[in-house]
Chain A
Amino acid sequence: MSTDYQTNEAKSLLRRVLDSDIWYSFKKSKVTMVAAGVALIIFLAALLAPLLAPHNPFDLASLSLMDSLLPPSWTGMGDPRYLLGTDDQGRDVLSTILYGSRISIAVGLASVAFAAVLGITLGLVAGYMGGAVDAVIMRVADVQLSFPAILIALLIDGTISGLTGGVNREETAFTVLVISIGLSFWVQYARTVRSSTLVERDKEYVQAARLIGLHPFLIMLRHVLPNVMGPVLVIATINLALAIITEATLSFLGVGMPSTQPSLGTMIRIGNDFLFSGEWWITLFPGALLAVLVLAVNLLGDWLRDALNPKLR
């Protein structure tokens, strides 16, 4: 009985998704479907990198300097083992791209999650508490918003490496990146959540919750939060593209992922040194993947914003 009930439940959930406005607008937009497909393929390829990659770029024993700087195999001058050629250390470019996109996407997702949690929390507190707390949080947000995120990320990155003395760069790079990017993107979440919280907090259900003596923390978490989450999803999708670009930029500038654990940005930086001697494949392949990934995520974000916006229907 219970399984029957559950399949029914699952079916009706599927039915609900298929009948929803969002699914309809998704089916109607070919560009969005292509973008979703491309993004899905890249995400899966990144996730399954250890299974898909023909070589393991982190296994130093398998690398040979004899194989370094080989062109892609179809040019006739390369090695059939390395479809997209090799970099200066003899790493297979295709495998490094697969592992690199894994790092890029992981940093992107983690920093978006960090920024969202921080921004939602501060926005909720500012909107619900009001008064001095609100004023302080929002003024900080205003000041921060007047600076480009990349500048803030660079400053935080520099400050952290100054405080840690730059030791263990290889182990801390991931965390430092997530913190720098996360701290530079929280403002948008905070502003959006705050303005919806301001509307919600005077509604009757919140007053009722307050009346029965619930702790403000519980009211915010259980009653207000679910009702202000809608726009957050859109911001998060658009910010994912921005976070991936920011990570790639920081790595390209040499303050992100080290060359032993290259992200796409690091690979582009390494390849940039060889562009003039004709080794274009080290830069252009990761560059192309980065561009396609960001474009796909951007298109998805744009579509989601329009699909969830009742004014445009």
Chain B
Amino acid sequence: MIAFVIRRIIQSIIVIMVVGLVAFVMFRFVGDPVNQMVGLETSIADRELLREQLGLNQPLIVQYWHFISNAAQGDFGTSYQYRRPVSEILGERLPATLELALVSAIFAIAAGIPMGVYTALYRDSVLSNIFLTVSLIGISLPSFLVGILLIFIFSVHLQWLPSFGRGEVVDLGWWSTGLLTATGLKAIILPAITLGLFQMTLIMRLVRSEMMEVLRTDFVKFAKARGLKTRVVHFGHALKNTMIPVITITGLQFGSIIAFAIITETVFQWPGSGLLFLQAVQNVDVPIMAAYLLMIAFLFVLINLIVDVLYVVVDPRIRLEGS
């Protein structure tokens, strides 16, 4: 068990180091950091001095080590656009993205699981076919198009919900939340649906296929034969046994929700880290790009690690295999 966890942690660190290498190469060779920092009238001697001070004359391996160890301490350098530390800017933007991702994950689970259960239980009903068609469309429609359609219907036509921004936010220490004000709650509805729609269809299809499989198993038949209520069989026995893969997939999808937030945040002008990253790509603000990449990598690796370890805890078969 402990050996397994340690092995997974070492693998994770290697992944982070590789992504860090990519980020470092970008940081170092895409655009000259010195040129980005000085004005046009800086003399060549001054530039060389700055180069020396920044350590850009040292061997690359040393520079890489500095880059990684600085990043590990939360220092990603200074943004070319904003002339402020990247970590500070990211810290301001992260709460908005995390809140959006969390709300859309909750939406995806709350809508996806019941729809999946329903389509598995009543396979040929009209409503099931509607759900399945909608899910096919949900997978085919690019998410920015979903966002635009929602804005067109609910903001332009019906004028029920705002189409951009977070509404009013409340500061809780270093965390600013929009979930405590009425305008903030209204503002998060459309972006959360846009972002969660794809995950919702994914969860629905997963629950449906898992349910259909479990309903065929002997223990479900036995539960029915014992004369238990259908409700108890479906929800107590069948659904419970479909939850492990659902939890895994949802967990693993949380990382991609945050990455896909780039698109949603652009459509709704949501002031989160995805919008920041996109602006960095457009303006070739490499420190922000590198920091965002590392942050996403860290998140992915962390989630993967947690899921793997949870698996070992939950499923004794894996535990035996490892030892």
Contacts and interface: CB of A to CB of B under 8 A. Distances in A.
A179 to B, nearest CB: 15
A132 to B, nearest CB: 16
B235 to A, nearest CB: 30
Contacts of A287: 145, 148-149
A270 to B, nearest CB: 12
Contacts of B26: 155, 159, 162
Given A163-B30, A275-B152, A290-B142, A148 B284 contact: no
B148 A146 contact: no
A246 to B, nearest CB: 9
A25 interface: no
Contacts of B15: 143, 146
B144 A268 contact: yes
Contacts of A146: 15, 255, 297, 300-301, 304
Interface string B253-268: 0011001101100110
A159 to B, nearest CB: 5
Interface in A18-62: none
Contact of B151 (A157, A241, A268, A275): A275
Interface stretch (B51-59, B133-141, B178-186, B313-321): B133-141
B293 interface: yes
Residue from the set A150, A155, A245, A275 with the largest chain B CB neighbour count within 10 Å: A155
B1 interface: no
B296 interface: yes
B169 interface: no
Contacts of A161: 284
A154 B18 CA distance: 19
Interface residues of B, number: 44
A263 interface: no
A283 B148 contact: yes
B260 A252 contact: no
B170 interface: no
Given A163-B30, A253-B263, A275-B151, A154 B145 contact: no
Given A253-B266, A255-B281, A276-B156, A159 B30 contact: yes
The majority secondary structure among interface residues of chain A is helix
Interface string B278-300: 10111010100100010011001
B19 A295 contact: no
B11 to A, nearest CB: 10
Nearest to B144: A252
Contacts of B136: 295, 298-299
B289 A249 contact: no
A272 interface: yes
Nearest to A293: B140
Interface in B145-182: 145, 148-149, 151-152, 156, 163
Interface in A246-284: 248-249, 252-255, 268, 272, 275-276, 278, 280, 283-284
B108 to A, nearest CB: 16
A273 to B, nearest CB: 11
A253 B262 CA distance: 9
Contacts of B289: 155, 158
A249 B281 contact: no
A150 B265 CA distance: 14
- For the complex of A and B, list the 4 residue pairs with the smallest distance between their C-beta atoms, beginning with the closest: A158-B281, A162-B30, A162-B284, A295-B140
